[in-house]
Amino acid sequence: MSCSGEEPSSEGHNDAHAIHWGYEADNGPETWGSMNSEWALCTDGREQSPIDLTNAAMTELPAVDLDRPGEGEVEVLTQAGVINALDNGHTIQVNSKTGEKLAVGEKTYALLQFHFHAPSEHTVDGEHFPMEMHFVHQAEDGALAVVGVLVEEGAPNPGIAPLWAQLREAPGTETTVEIGDEFAEPVFPNVSSGAYHYVGSLTTPPCSEGVQWYVRRTFTSLSKEQIAEFTAVYDHNNRPVQQLYDRTLYRDDNPNVTIQ
């Protein structure tokens, strides 16, 4: 679910594909705002994503009240289930069909999709991670929230194989795969060192603003080989960091992301 892998693929707008935006010099981020009048925010917006995660204001994030209520918590429900994986020409995008939810305070968002960027779109103190995952959620009123998970090189994720199989298919090829705990547990371990939060945008056209971003401070890992498999097909499918302007970046170091 993210934002290049088409944010709600429902970011993913079909009209966006028709104009063939991408990450090369002639169709990349610097040109998006001029490619379509509806994408003007990509150039003119002042709440754009990604950003550099530094100089954050310490805070306590809004309370979550789901199965395990607790102050300052963001709860992500990761359930094994059947989903569609699609190589959409910009990344591997996984469309959720299993009812995962993200609850922040009294607002609940349904998981639409997740996708991958390499290198990471967000930076920490100016440094990129090898990859980043975006889990894109949407509330009933259309509001969007994205959970970002930074990926470092390390232990392999044993559940990535059915997704990476899409890398060998032509863009636009869709398949049904089973994603289980062997994928979810390494990505959302039941431990957390908190999260960054700010109000931003989709990171692909139309760069819509008002997106609630939660970037976990607990990283996940993929092996060097798994990262190389992805970057052999999608290298530099990341939007450069954007100016913060007058926004505030928040950081909560408490275990505010709980998993069920």
Domain map of the chain by residue range?
A: 14-259
The class level of CATH for 14-259 reads: alpha beta
Q: Which residues, 6 or more positions from 18, have their beta carbon under 8 angstroms from its beta carbon?
A: none
- Retrieve residue 246's tokens: 């007058």
pTM value > 0.85: yes
* Contact call for residues 111 and 208 (beta carbons, < 8 A): no
- Nearest CA-CA partner of 183 in 145, 135, 144, 112: 135
Residue-level pLDDT at 34: 95
Q: Residues in the chain with pLDDT < 50?
A: 1-5, 9-17, 64-71
* Contact call for residues 42 and 206 (beta carbons, < 8 A): yes
Residue-level pLDDT at 10: 38
Q: Which residues on neighbouring strands pair with residue 99, listed in sequence order?
A: none
Identity of residue 67: D
Cα–Cα dist 249/92, whole Å: 29
User: Could you give the residue numbers annotated as active site?
Assistant: 90
Q: Which residues on neighbouring strands pair with residue 207, listed in sequence order?
A: none
Helix or strand run (H / E) with residue 181: helix 181-187
Q: Which residues on neighbouring strands pair with residue 116, listed in sequence order?
A: 133
Cα–Cα dist 29/7, whole Å: 15
